[in-house]
Amino acid sequence: MEILARAIDLSRRFGRYPALSGLDFELRQGEVLGLLGPNGAGKTTCLRLLSGGLHPSRGKIEILGIDLSRRPVAAKRHLGYLPERPPLYPELRVDEYLRHCARLHRVPRRGVKEAVAEAKRRCGLDGVGRQLIAKLSKGFRQRLGIAQAILHRPRLLILDEPTEGLDPVQTREVRALIRELSKDSGIILSSHVLPEVQAVCDRVLVLHHGRLLRSEHLSAAPRAGLCRVRVAGAVDPGQMARLPCVEAAIALGEGRYRMILTEGATSGDLARQIVGAGLELHELGPERPDLERVFFDLIGAGDPA
């Protein structure tokens, strides 16, 4: 897959304070990459650097292979950016605002009408074109912020906290919109909400104090060789660990175990062996990466509540 964005040793200081230090990553076509971290982790700084609105103190960014510092105009043509606070003008109507943004994005004059209609359609803004922005709900403003970012059909979309402050219904709608947009563009977004990242991202970069702590794939695919089981009654963990297809069994309490299987063994083998050993199997499922555990371990904040 084509690499849409590449950050190399990306760093930014504010005075002596290192807001971002030595970040390296790539974003590929069709991927939704999440930046996750607590307040002050450096997420917004990273996205502002990627948008070209802030210059790195060290390192560089390439957008479709174009050096963002050296050829900003050419690189930015491929970018759409939803900042933390979308740059909306309350006194304008939705259509007026989008036409204005289309001109800023250098959409050719004869293509403006179509670009505005297309962005509105994709963001569910049909029917509010004549409304004053001041009168839009927060959810609709956020959609409008996204619409202005996609007007010129950028290959790369940068979304800073796209669902911040939305109610649960609006949040669900904006998440669905992000997944939809990811069919055409690579997306990088920031969030400090774990379920958000798990719901929409394919991969997450965990940031803390401006440093990358971990890059984690969030594919729906379970980790090979890992299962979670629940058996009835008090079972000796040793008995679970001695099953032929089991490398190790970690007791989680109340009959639940995380099982590490031997090379090539399947969950079917495990089920047969548990039942064959005379145990009562209540549940057996794939073990997926537990982002919450990873996150809290990494930032050293103790266990999730």
CB of 251 to ligand ATP, least distance (A): 37
Stretch that binds ligand ATP, among 25-33, 38-46, 218-226, 292-300 (CB under 6 A): 38-46
Contact with ligand ATP (CB under 6 A) among 37, 124, 139, 162: 37
CB of 187 to ligand ATP, least distance (A): 17
- Say how far apart CA 184 and CA 291 lie, in whole Å: 27
**Under rule CB under 6 A, residue 40 binds ligand ATP:** yes
Contact with ligand ATP (CB under 6 A) among 192, 211, 258, 288: 192
Residue numbers 71-110 binding ligand ATP by CB under 6 A: none
CB of 23 to ligand ATP, least distance (A): 11
Name the residue nearer to ligand ATP (CB basis): 44 or 273.
Answer: 44
**Under rule CB under 6 A, residue 44 binds ligand ATP:** yes
**Under rule CB under 6 A, residue 43 binds ligand ATP:** yes
* Alpha-carbon dihedral sign for residues 141, 143, 147, 149: positive
Name the residue nearer to ligand ATP (CB basis): 101 or 207.
Answer: 207
Name the residue nearer to ligand ATP (CB basis): 192 or 256.
Answer: 192
| Total residues in contact with ligand ATP, by rule CB under 6 A | 12
Contact with ligand ATP (CB under 6 A) among 16, 39, 253, 278: 39
Q: What is the binding site for ligand ATP (CB under 6 A)? A: 14, 17, 19, 37, 39-45, 192
